[in-house]
Amino acid sequence: MILFIADLHLCSEEPAITAGFLRFLAGTAREAQALYILGDLFEAWIGDDDPEPLHGEIALAIKDLVDSGVPCFFIHGNRDFLLGKRFARLSGMTPLPEEKVLDLYGRRILILHGDTLCTDDAGYQAFRRKVHQPWLQRLFLALPLFMRKRVAARMRAGSKAANSSKTLAIMDVNQQAVIDALTRYQVQWMIHGHTHRPEIHPLTANDKPAFRCVLGAWHTRGSMIKVTPENVELIPFDF
């Protein structure tokens, strides 16, 4: 089986989620052939040089999983898009591009974080284009750590304020963007996170039945998608 998770939003203020993830890595994940983390593993990321103890604890736990024979792959989310090579090396994770097609048991599956599908949210998409500019990222990462923390705190506050005035529909995926992505890659399956609305949605793409599988966020329970030769299942579970 292949496992997918996303949107854990790990932070020191939510120790129950961290404990649940560590149990998952030491238990269920060990039974998988591979683990894919589709973004927002952390609530925020201001650089691989951040000495936050939680980061080292998580890196060691993922590395232990990888060393046990379960490869771990990572797609950046909108919260941890600055996660870099140093953390990837410490954790043993393999970073992937923001869109990747996997061939699993005869199914071609497009995986991504999911924020690029939310095209109705024009303000967010403009912000995303700005902060993904390499020169701006280099400039930010060159700032002293205390300044990066201040900037990140202001950005989170601004994002929270902006989202409070947006409808749920605007912050969800655009159906045409989903169909366009399935058509672009000529696939019938998609797995993503970001929207925190766990569900497997049937639709039509490429003139055939298709499925959009959405992971849930780890708020009070865990969420994973399990892909086997027989099935694709969305599974909530207790920490």
pLDDT greater than 80 at residue 107: yes
Which residues lie below 8 Å from residue 223, measured CB to CB, with a gap of 6+?
Answer: 5, 6, 7, 198, 215, 216, 217, 234, 235, 236, 237
Length of the chain: 239
Tens of pLDDT, residues 11-38 = 999 999 999 999 999 999 999 999 999 9
pLDDT greater than 80 at residue 169: no
> How far is 172 from 152, CA to CA, in rounded Å?
24
> How far is 169 from 4, CA to CA, in rounded Å?
25
pLDDT of residue 117: 97
pLDDT of residue 168: 77
Q: How confident is the model at residue 164 (pLDDT cuts 50, 70, 90)?
A: confident
pLDDT of residue 163: 73
Please name the amino acid found at residue 116: T
pTM, to two decimals: 0.95
How many other CB atoms are there within 10 angstroms of residue 40's CB atom?
Answer: 29
Q: Average pLDDT, whole number, for the chain? A: 95
pLDDT greater than 90 at residue 186: yes
Range from 89-98, 111-120, 169-178 carrying the lowest mean pLDDT: 169-178
Q: Which of 34, 71, 4, 12 is nearest to 235 (CA)?
A: 4
